[in-house]
Structure 1
Amino acid sequence: MMRTDGYLLDHQQTETGQRSDAFATLFDPTTFRHMASFGLGSGWRCWEVGAGDVSVISWLAKKVGPTGKVVATNTDTSWVTSPPRAPVEVRVHDVGVDEPPGEGFDLVHARLTLAHVAHRERALHSMIRALRPGGRLLVEDADLALQPLACPEESGPEQHLANRLRHAVRTLLADHGVDPSYGRRLPRLLREAGLRGVEAGAYFPVASPACAALESTMIRGLRAQLVSAGLATDEEIDRHLTNVASGTMDVTTVPLISAWGRKA
């Protein structure tokens, strides 16, 4: 039911494609904007930590070109459906346990990854150690506790149920070692790790078809765990999925905190 790296949602589930598409639609523009601001370009060496789909990897590969390199790592690489082509290299790797897959990287990036890693501090220092002097680290993670509602405007029973299920998801994740407040701590953690010029920002989509799609795939993927933990019933989940599919609710995602800095 849960992968050994702390993820409750694995890459084998039928919803994976829909979930990846929703993540890309919602968060790729923010991620790419930050990366572009670093001057990312031809010849850069990049490490994508916790890679779970191809959108960020493909964008990086186009930016670094044939003289660059993109190393994509995860404990589960079953999402790779065809052999990667240069400059991309995919490796099985646990960022909280294994040594970095190289050194001298110009950019190291992790999105929605570290909050799920058991050895977060070791993982963060491993990522920084892999950077060249002056290299950039970009860490992006959610903060479930910062905005815990699925529907900020609780105008009826549908929104009330959505918010109750979002609370149940937060409880489930916390029980499995996921840090629900990790996002807000990122700026301090990067400064304390010795990075220079640390900055951070937040992205919080309030309503879009991608938000609804992500909500549906998340709840379907966690249904068995929510029910077995006594946090929700099948009837409640079915009702909520019907409500989301109706398109009448403004469903939000969890705020994404992006923090970045430069290795001295």
Structure 2
Amino acid sequence: MTTPPPGSPDKTGYLLDNAQPEAGTRFDALGALFDASTFRHIEELGIAPGWRCWEVGAGGPSVVTWLADRVGPAGRVLATDVDTSWATGAAGGVVEVLRHDVGRDAPPEGGFDLIHARLVLVHVADRDRALRSMAEALRPGGHLLLEDADPASQPLICLDEYGPEQVLANRLRTGFRSLLAARGADLAYGRKLPRLLREAGLADVTADAYFPVTSAACAVLEAATVRQVRDELVAAGLATDEEIDSHLANVTSGRLDLTTSPMISAWGRRVAFLPSDDAA
């Protein structure tokens, strides 16, 4: 784990707390940016009526609602998170919402046809245990789809750094990522997913990556994120209030072409037995 910057608060846990009001805005922006890619991957895995699905770290309701529509009344969608407040609106019918920490708690019983987690494991302290837990919760033939960012492979938020506004944006993004790393986030985790799925005993492992170069949703996501971590950036000496105000004004003006970290999606299929089954 990276040592926190001098003067930064000694904190642990998820930096982007779901209890903060900006969380809902972030969930909506992430959905606008990445739902289409996520849904394409799940459709290619063959989701069908009657499937049992586990959405890990559900956050907002968009993916849960989409899954429920695909599996129909004969299926089941379990949505779990350490904070379920933003997903409770999707509860009912085939959807069950449950408070659950994938890095600590035993996996739900079931034998799932599909388990999906997006932007979850990069923040989980015991991410290796969490991944094994999900793989073991699959039924034979079931699919695990993991999607995580890889900020280390593309650290800039403004690819075209042609002026002071873009330089400031990239400096604040570097500061934000240092705060994430100080709390144990693995900023190179996305690239590891194919190997980790194979090591978990899954077959037919495949992966791809996607990131938008600029869009309105990128600007919404950036503004909400900066507002959410503003106090931490200032306390750690990574930015001043004046710099943050200037950056937020630049974001609102539409003069910045803002991107995101590459989102790496990797998926694999459980065979009849996993290596962990032999260990048991």
2:213 counterpart of 1:206: yes
2:19 and 2:203 map into 1 onto residues whose CA distance is 39
Listed one character per residue, the Cα deviations across residues 198-232 of structure 1 (whole Å, up to 9, x for unaligned) are 01000110000000110110011000111111111
1:3 and 1:44 map into 2 onto residues whose CA distance is 40
1:129 paired residue number: 136
Among candidates 148, 154, 158, match of residue 141 of structure 1: 148
TM superposition shift of 1:16: 2.1
TM-score after normalising by structure 1: 0.97
Query: Contact conserved, 1:3 with 1:10, CA < 8 A, in 2?
Result: no
Query: Which 4+ stretches in 1 moved above 3 angstroms?
Result: 1-4, 80-83
2:92 counterpart of 1:46: no
- The 1:40–1:3 alpha-carbon spacing in structure 2 relative to 1, beyond 3 Å, is farther
TM-score after normalising by structure 2: 0.91
1:89 paired residue number: 96
SS of the residue aligned with 1:22? helix
Higher relative contact order (CA 8 A, sep 6+): 2
Listed one character per residue, the Cα deviations across residues 83-112 of structure 1 (whole Å, up to 9, x for unaligned) are 711100000101011111113100000000
SS of the residue aligned with 1:106? strand
TM superposition shift of 1:117: 0.4
The amino acid across from 2:83 in the alignment is: D
- Please, which runs of 5 or more residues in structure 1 have no aligned partner? none
TM superposition shift of 1:74: 0.6
Listed one character per residue, the Cα deviations across residues 169-189 of structure 1 (whole Å, up to 9, x for unaligned) are 111100111110000110111
- The 1:2–1:64 alpha-carbon spacing in structure 2 relative to 1, beyond 3 Å, is farther
The amino acid across from 1:205 in the alignment is: P
The amino acid across from 1:13 in the alignment is: Q
Among candidates 107, 113, 118, match of residue 106 of structure 1: 113
The amino acid across from 1:128 in the alignment is: A
TM superposition shift of 1:17: 2.3
- The 1:236–1:11 alpha-carbon spacing in structure 2 relative to 1, beyond 3 Å, is same
- The 1:2–1:31 alpha-carbon spacing in structure 2 relative to 1, beyond 3 Å, is farther
Query: Contact conserved, 2:147 with 2:264, CA < 8 A, in 1?
Result: yes
2:113 and 2:187 map into 1 onto residues whose CA distance is 29
2:238 counterpart of 1:231: yes
1:58 and 1:82 map into 2 onto residues whose CA distance is 9
1:175 paired residue number: 182
Query: Contact conserved, 1:2 with 1:9, CA < 8 A, in 2?
Result: no
Among candidates 228, 234, 250, match of residue 243 of structure 1: 250
TM superposition shift of 1:80: 3.7
2:171 paired residue number: 164
Query: Contact conserved, 2:58 with 2:87, CA < 8 A, in 1?
Result: no
Among candidates 26, 31, 34, match of residue 27 of structure 1: 34
TM superposition shift of 1:31: 0.2
The amino acid across from 1:14 in the alignment is: P
2:94 and 2:239 map into 1 onto residues whose CA distance is 45
2:110 and 2:147 map into 1 onto residues whose CA distance is 21
1:18 paired residue number: 25
CA RMSD of aligned residues (A): 1.4
2:191 paired residue number: 184
- The 1:234–1:203 alpha-carbon spacing in structure 2 relative to 1, beyond 3 Å, is same
TM superposition shift of 1:82: 4.1
Query: Contact conserved, 1:2 with 1:8, CA < 8 A, in 2?
Result: no
The amino acid across from 1:151 in the alignment is: C
1:84 and 1:161 map into 2 onto residues whose CA distance is 42
2:84 counterpart of 1:77: yes
- Please, which runs of 5 or more residues in structure 2 have no aligned partner? 1-8, 272-280
TM superposition shift of 1:251: 0.5
